[in-house]
Amino acid sequence: SPILVIGGTDFLGHHLVQDLLDNGVKHDQIHALDLKTDRNLVSGVTYHQADITSKSAIDPLLQKVRPTVVSHTASPNPFETNRAILDKVNIDGTRNLIEGAQEVGMVKAFIYTSSSSLVHDHYHPLINADETLPVLYYPQQSNYYSHTKAVAEDIVLAANRRVGSMLTVALRPTSMYGEGDEGQIPNLVRNARAGRAGHHIGPGNNKFDNT
């Protein structure tokens, strides 16, 4: 049963590919799609280069792979400020993938990597936050990246059991780190080396969740 990882050469996606292999999924059953396929490649896995914002590119690929599981991890950088890019990739791209998966008719599970920032206004602290908090949308949501992730999550969840037996779910991780991280940890190290790590706001015992 083919598994398709969208964003399969990026930080999260390539770890997911490796985790599938570590848990017994055969190489020839794993397909990874990304805008560029020139890094984080795992031998034996099938890679596809395509733009999820292009329905004419995505539909034939889904028909070719005919996956039973789609894991959608692709997204612009959370610090991206170009709203057109965020709309196109997070909203339009996700809609293309959902519609394509429905049309294939083979997909049993569609897993979307959302974000914990959907419930955060980016001004006030969150303490013991969970899924009962309301999702915020622009303009109540000051961070446009989070707004587009929220809209995309709505698209995914609305498709649950809508066509055939395809189930959908959205996962909301916090900031991620780990082997191959090119963002959070490297930035902390660079700031420390530049002497910008000696200041903090508050008593210094604030905690922050990481995935």
Contact 61, 50 (CB under 8 A): yes
Catalytic residues: 149
- CA gap 1, 99 in Å, rounded: 20
Q: How far apart are CA 210 and CA 200, in angstroms?
A: 18
Residue 173 C-alpha from the chain's centroid: 9
Cα(168)–Cα(188) distance, rounded to whole angstroms? 35
Measured distance CA(13)–CA(179) in Å, rounded: 12
How far lies 16's CA from each of 96, 100, 168, in Å?
A: 22, 22, 18
CB 73 within 8 A of CB 7: yes
> What type of residue sits at position 54?
S
